[in-house]
């Protein structure tokens, strides 16, 4: 692999501290440091004897620190308790003065260590502890008089609090270091010899290390070696003239001040192009989504329009059907009335004809009676004549036969006339019967029509009454909802004024839901009140109202609401 074959858009796969050195032809140790400096920091395995030594040292430190702290606290307590009497404290309060001073130091330092352990340090606690430490040192040193009068005596009284604070600071440093190790935020220190040997470049090195949160000193060395090796490779590629290098090739030198490694800087153009492509793809996707939503909206609007037209056509067809039905019903009523009138007229006409025929039959009957009377008279005359003819039998035989034939012919005509009269009577009776049946049917049709109209009027009246009752019910429900909303608003205002917690608000709302649902709690014990509330407010209602998925939480809300109602809670009306 030659120097010109080094990739420009990606970092090499091999460790970055070696390829630049080999590519530029420079010695393998580019920065002049030892090989172990540029390699990853390898921790040596702790041996068993070292573990025992550290355990012993920790025990000695713990015992010694505790002993120094107890002695210092005891000496400070004795000294300050005595001097407090001279400073005007009463005999009852003088023993508590050193406890307040020294205990505040321990409390502040312990709280500072606790907050550091939790990752939320507060420097004010440490400054307050140091201030109280300074105060107790001053109090102990000046307890025997002026400090300048006997410095040795003053130092003997002030040295123990100083030692106690030193021990606490050592413990604090150990706890902070342990917390940083656990969190992975331990920052290596720059060795002193680097500050001495490279006083000009080291501040820049330290600045980059701190600004860009590089916690490992070997990692920072590796980055610097990689940058130097890349710069040497770039000079070799362009014959020492870096002005011939492209902007992408110069990125590692430009971005080093901002915490980028050579690999990250070289990968930036490709990453930015991919990010730009991703943004373009996202914009195109959003545009397509917007077009899809617009198309769906248009389709939905078209569907709504067609549905509305369908509903309009259905209403129009229903109205036309009802109108046609009403018209047909009206035509049927008119036709029925016309037929009834025609039948009535025919019946009247038939009655007139029947009456005329009856009068004619009566006249014919009277004529027949007259003819019968005349025939009787003729018979009697014929008898007389027969009797006379018997005397003149031979002479009047022809006249008798003729008279008998005439009588027979006249009797047949009379019988035929009577039969025709009886037939006429029968036909007239049948006609009268048909006319009566027609009138009965017409009357029945009128009665059914009247009953149908009455039923329709009753149905319309019932419909109007039902609509009125429904409107009254809806109005009453609206008033109830308005009153409930007003009660809810007042209750919320009262809860806001009382600054209740969200749970207390929820419990009160469950109680209001039960009271609004018509629950009656008068005269009930706790179990009865709970059953009454469970009857009108279910767990599902509570979950839906407060958007909680836990049935246990909803059940507790109901139990607390029962307790609240039992205590006399009622929303103000």
Closest CA relative to residue 537, chosen from 560, 509, 564, 558 = 558
Residues in Cβ contact with 184 at an 8 Å cutoff, skipping those fewer than 6 apart: 215
pLDDT of residue 282: 93
Average pLDDT, the chain: 76
pLDDT of residue 1: 34
User: Which of 40-44, 201-205, 526-530 is predicted least confidently?
Assistant: 40-44
Other C-beta atoms lying within 10 Å of the C-beta of residue 234: 23
Arithmetic mean of pLDDT, 106-123: 82
**How many helices and strands (H and E) does the chain possess?**
16, 0
Q: Where are the domains of the chain?
A: 3-41+191-260, 48-183, 270-475, 500-566
Q: Flag whether pLDDT at 12 surpasses 80.
A: no
pLDDT of residue 402: 60
Q: Flag whether pLDDT at 538 surpasses 70.
A: yes
For the chain, what's the residue count? 573
Beta strands in 345-471 (DSSP E): none
Q: Flag whether pLDDT at 139 surpasses 80.
A: no
Arithmetic mean of pLDDT, 464-474: 79
Query: Do residues 509 and 545 lie in contact, with contact meaning Cβ atoms separated by under 8 Å?
Result: yes
pLDDT of residue 15: 39
pLDDT of residue 37: 39
pLDDT of residue 407: 65
Question: What share of the chain in percent tops pLDDT 90?
Answer: 5
User: Which of 287-296, 407-416, 504-513, 535-544 is predicted least confidently?
Assistant: 407-416
Per-residue pLDDT tens digits for 50-95: 678 878 887 887 787 778 777 777 777 777 777 777 777 777 777 8
- Interatomic CA distance for residues 287 and 281, integer angstroms: 10
Query: Do residues 125 and 112 lie in contact, with contact meaning Cβ atoms separated by under 8 Å?
Result: yes
Per-residue pLDDT tens digits for 375-432: 677 667 667 767 765 776 665 565 566 666 656 665 766 767 678 877 877 877 787 7
Query: Do residues 209 and 223 lie in contact, with contact meaning Cβ atoms separated by under 8 Å?
Result: no
- Model confidence at 315, pLDDT cuts 50, 70, 90, reads confident
- Model confidence at 284, pLDDT cuts 50, 70, 90, reads very high
pTM for this predicted structure: 0.32
- Interatomic CA distance for residues 385 and 393, integer angstroms: 10
Q: Flag whether pLDDT at 167 surpasses 50.
A: yes
- Model confidence at 5, pLDDT cuts 50, 70, 90, reads very low
pLDDT of residue 287: 92
Other C-beta atoms lying within 10 Å of the C-beta of residue 176: 15
Other C-beta atoms lying within 10 Å of the C-beta of residue 261: 20
pLDDT of residue 312: 87
Other C-beta atoms lying within 10 Å of the C-beta of residue 45: 6
User: Which of 163-167, 318-322, 405-409, 440-444 is predicted least confidently?
Assistant: 405-409
Q: Flag whether pLDDT at 250 surpasses 60.
A: yes
Residue 532, both tokens: 């009454």
Place of tokens 């080291």: 202
Q: Flag whether pLDDT at 562 surpasses 60.
A: yes
HSE-CB for 252 with a 13 A CA cutoff: 25
Q: Flag whether pLDDT at 501 surpasses 60.
A: yes
Q: Flag whether pLDDT at 238 surpasses 80.
A: yes
- Model confidence at 38, pLDDT cuts 50, 70, 90, reads very low
SS (H, E, C) 70-111: HHHHHHHHHHHHHHHHHCCCCCCCCCHHHHHHHHHHHHHHHH
Q: Flag whether pLDDT at 265 surpasses 70.
A: yes
**CB crowding 266-295: b at 16 or more within 10 Å, else e:** bbbeeeeeeeeeeeeeeeeeeeeeeeeeee
pLDDT of residue 289: 92
Q: Flag whether pLDDT at 469 surpasses 60.
A: yes
Arithmetic mean of pLDDT, 157-175: 73
Arithmetic mean of pLDDT, 269-288: 91
Q: Flag whether pLDDT at 11 surpasses 50.
A: no
């Amino acid at each position: 692999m030659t120097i010109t074959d080094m990739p420009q858009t990606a970092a090499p796969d091999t460790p970055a501290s070696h390829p630049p050195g080999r590519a530029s032809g420079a010695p393998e140790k580019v920065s002049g440091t030892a090989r172990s400096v540029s390699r990853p920091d390898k921790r040596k395995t702790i041996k068993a004897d070292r573990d025992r030594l550290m355990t012993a040292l920790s025990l000695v430190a713990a015992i010694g620190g505790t002993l120094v702290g107890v002695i210092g606290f005891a000496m400070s307590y004795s000294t300050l308790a005595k001097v407090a009497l001279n400073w005007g404290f009463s005999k009852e309060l003088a023993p508590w003065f050193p406890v307040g001073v020294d205990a505040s130091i321990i409390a502040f330092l312990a709280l500072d260590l606790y907050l550091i352990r939790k990752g939320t340090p507060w420097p004010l606690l440490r400054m307050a502890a140091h201030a109280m430490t300074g105060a107790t040192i001053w109090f102990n040193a000046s307890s025997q008089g002026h400090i300048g009068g006997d410095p040795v005596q003053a130092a003997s009284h002030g040295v123990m609090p100083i030692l106690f604070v030193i021990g606490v600071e050592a413990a604090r440093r150990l706890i902070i270091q342990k917390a940083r190790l656990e969190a992975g935020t331990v920052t290596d220190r720059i060795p002193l010899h680097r500050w001495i040997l490279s006083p000009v470049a080291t501040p820049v090195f330290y600045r980059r290390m701190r600004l860009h949160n590089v916690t490992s000193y070997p990692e920072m060395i590796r980055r610097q070696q990689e940058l130097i090796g890349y710069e040497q490779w770039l000079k070799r590629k362009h014959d020492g003239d870096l002005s011939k290098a492209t902007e992408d090739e110069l990125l590692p030198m430009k971005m080093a001040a901002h915490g980028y490694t050579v690999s990250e800087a070289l990968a930036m153009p490709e990453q930015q192009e991919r990010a730009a492509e991703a943004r373009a793809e996202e914009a195109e996707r959003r545009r397509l989504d917007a077009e899809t939503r617009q198309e769906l909206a248009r389709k939905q609007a078209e569907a709504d329009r067609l549905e509305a037209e369908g509903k309009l056509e259905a209403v129009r067809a229903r109205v036309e059907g009802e109108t046609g039905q009403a018209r047909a019903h009206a035509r049927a009523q008119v036709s029925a009335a016309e037929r009834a009138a025609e039948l009535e007229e025919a019946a009247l006409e038939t009655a007139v004809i029947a009456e005329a025929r009856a009068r004619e039959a009566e006249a014919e009957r009277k004529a027949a009676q007259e003819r019968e009377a005349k025939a009787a008279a003729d018979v009697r005359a014929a008898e007389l004549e027969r009797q006379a003819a018997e005397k003149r039998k031979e002479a009047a035989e022809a006249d008798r036969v003729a008279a008998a034939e005439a009588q027979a012919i006249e009797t047949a005509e009379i019988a035929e006339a009577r039969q025709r009269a009886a037939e006429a009577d029968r036909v007239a009776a049948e006609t009268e019967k048909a006319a009566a049946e027609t009138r009965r049917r017409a009357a029945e049709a009128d009665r059914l029509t009247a009953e149908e109209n009455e039923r329709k009027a009753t149905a319309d009246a019932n419909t109007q009454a039902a609509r009125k009752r429904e409107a009254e019910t809806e109005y009453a429900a609206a008033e109830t909802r308005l009153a409930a909303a007003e009660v809810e608003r007042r209750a919320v205002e009262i809860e806001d004024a009382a600054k209740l917690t969200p749970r207390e608000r929820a419990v009160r709302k469950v109680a209001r839901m039960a009271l609004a649902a018509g629950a009656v709690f008068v005269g009930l014990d706790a179990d009865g009140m709970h059953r009454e509330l469970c009857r009108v407010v279910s767990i599902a209602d509570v979950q839906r109202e407060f958007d909680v998925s836990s049935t246990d939480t909803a059940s507790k809300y109901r139990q607390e609401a029962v307790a609240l109602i039992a205590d006399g809670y009622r929303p103000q009306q």
